Amino acid sequence: MYRNRRAELYGELRNALEPKRRAREMLKLPAERWPPKKRFLSIPPDDAKLREELAVLPKSYDGDGRLRLPPKSRSPGGDRREPTVRELLGGRSHDRADALVLALYA
């Protein structure tokens, strides 16, 4: 389903941020009425850098239909045709997105 662990972590983050139909109905209720073990993940509306870091990641698949991500940075002799995440962000790192995906994993 995923090309590597990094793609898996970001794929699971995508799933966590996209609540299913049943969850959307529960989100209409006040939090105190939710079942005790049910919680949701959302991104703070004022964290523009985190939103940008997540928005530049394309949802693409490899030849076997597995979710893949662009490389973080350019490796020596690497494919020059595909932009790296750092290039998609105008030269800066995507530390906030990595921190969020690792926190969700933990």
How confident is the model at residue 41, as a pLDDT? Answer: 75
Q: Say if CB 51 and CB 43 are below 8 A apart.
A: yes
If the chain, 106 residues long, is cut into consecutive pieces of 10 residues, what is the mean pLDDT of each piece?
A: 92 84 77 74 85 89 92 74 86 91 90
What's the structural domain count of the chain?
1
pTM of the model: 0.75
How confident is the model at residue 84, as a pLDDT? Answer: 87
- C-alpha distance from residue 36 to each of 17, 27, 32, 48, 52 (Å): 19, 14, 9, 31, 32
- DSSP state at residue 75: P
Tokens standing for 86? 């750092």
How confident is the model at residue 32, as a pLDDT? Answer: 82
